[in-house]
């Protein structure tokens, strides 16, 4: 596995220069990214991972590497004929998400994540990142039956509150682009900024795609659905989210509205393939309680972070395969 690129955001949503420790001004972000990010020509797939609640710099680094390692291992062990070669280029985005595991800590990080994308610049900064990667990569071909590596695919993965950052970034990267979310690969201009968008245990209201994130359904350049896992054993987005916002969160109950845009499936074992038909909606809830069910006995968040399994990697690799 190639060494991941690490990008840090401060609590205001600005990138942090690793040499000076100072925030990077908005106008300097393109130069900053060009300096620290160079997509190798040998890469077939670019994966951007944004962690969630209760991570310091060290645990965020470890968990991102754990997920990237699962992708490498699963691809080597599996049979993804439509995917073919996988040469991953990995980017982890870290942000200050550490707090106590109780309701007060959940509320504090929820408020911080919200402020970073509203009053702060996290959405714009990450949107610039996606735009930069989209501009720098070799764009894939447009043939619907593409089965050879002729381009580089871009995948966004978020966990918990990191899922908010990911979706906000896709909205920011969309700009005034065409409403192309779906599996249509017939447009020779390849108008997609992101090939797959996957969020594990999202810490957000189940109706958020009817208001704040509604633009993702109308004009998001995503070559595929917005895929989100859920587990009834996730107490952070169940109990804590209900106490903080009056409703259980997506990570516990899934996306509930708009109902006509939502499909539901189950997290597959690594031996079972996902079909295009079960993922062919704008939003897909993936019931994962059979796998995401463990939590450390002392942690009231339950299975909120119990996502580090081969089946998680299988889900992303399957989406990447279908996006080809």
Q: Is 228 helix (H, G, I), strand (E, B) or coil?
A: strand
State how far the Cα of 120 lies from the Cα of 128, in Å rounded to an integer.
14
Q: What's residue 147's pLDDT?
A: 40
Mean pLDDT for the stretch of residues 164-175:
84
Q: pLDDT tier at 308 (50, 70, 90 boundaries)?
A: very high
User: What's the pTM value of the predicted model, to 2 decimals?
Assistant: 0.93
State how far the Cα of 172 lies from the Cα of 176, in Å rounded to an integer.
10
Helix 29-36 vs helix 122-136: crossing angle, to nearest 10? 50
Q: What's residue 170's pLDDT?
A: 87
Q: What's residue 324's pLDDT?
A: 83
Give 268-287 pLDDT, tens digit per residue: 999 999 998 999 888 999 99
State how far the Cα of 64 lies from the Cα of 92, in Å rounded to an integer.
6
Q: What's residue 317's pLDDT?
A: 97
What are the backbone angles phi and psi of residue 46, rounded to the nearest 5°? -110, 125
Q: Distance of CA 113 to CAs 27, 107, 108, 193, Å?
A: 23, 10, 9, 23
State how far the Cα of 321 lies from the Cα of 98, in Å rounded to an integer.
34
Give 24-36 pLDDT, tens digit per residue: 999 999 999 999 9
Q: Which of 45-49, 71-75, 300-304 comes out lowest in average pLDDT?
A: 300-304
The dihedral built from the CA positions of residue 13, 4, 157 and 324, taken in this order, carries a sign that is positive
User: Taking all residues of the chain, what is their mean pLDDT, rounded to a whole number?
Assistant: 89
Q: What's residue 37's pLDDT?
A: 94
């Amino acid at each position: 596995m190639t060494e991941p690129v690490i990008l840090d955001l401060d609590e205001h949503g600005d990138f942090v220069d690793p040499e000076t420790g100072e925030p990077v001004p908005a106008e300097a972000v393109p130069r900053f990214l060009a300096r620290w990010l160079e997509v190798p020509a040998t890469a077939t797939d670019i994966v951007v991972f944004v962690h969630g609640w209760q991570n310091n710099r060290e645990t965020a680094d470890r968990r991102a590497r754990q997920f990237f390692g699962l992708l490498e291992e699963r691809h080597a062990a599996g049979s993804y004929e439509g995917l073919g070669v996988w040469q991953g280029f990995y980017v982890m985005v870290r942000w200050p998400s550490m707090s106590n595991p109780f309701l007060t800590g959940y509320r504090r990080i929820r408020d911080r994540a919200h402020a970073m994308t509203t009053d702060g610049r996290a959405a714009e900064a990450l949107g610039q990142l996606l735009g930069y990667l989209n501009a720098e990569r070799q764009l894939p071909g447009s043939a619907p039956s593409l089965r050879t590596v002729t381009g580089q695919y871009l995948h966004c993965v978020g966990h918990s509150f990191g899922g908010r950052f990911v979706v906000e970034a896709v909205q920011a990267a969309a700009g005034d682009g065409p409403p192309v979310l779906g599996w249509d690969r017939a447009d020779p201009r390849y108008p997609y900024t992101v090939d797959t968008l996957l969020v594990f245990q999202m810490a957000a209201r189940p109706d958020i795609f009817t208001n704040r994130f509604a633009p993702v359904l109308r004009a998001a350049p995503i070559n595929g659905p917005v895929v989100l896992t859920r587990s009834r054993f996730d107490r952070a987005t169940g109990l804590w989210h209900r106490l903080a916002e009056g409703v259980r969160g997506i990570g516990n109950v899934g996306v509930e509205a708009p109902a006509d845009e939502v499909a539901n499936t189950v997290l597959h074992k690594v031996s079972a393939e996902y079909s295009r038909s079960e993922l062919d909606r704008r939003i897909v809830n993936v019931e994962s309680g059979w796998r995401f069910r463990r939590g450390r006995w002392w942690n009231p968040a339950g299975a909120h972070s119990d996502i580090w399994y081969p089946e998680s990697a299988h889900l992303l690799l399957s989406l990447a395969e279908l996006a080809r």
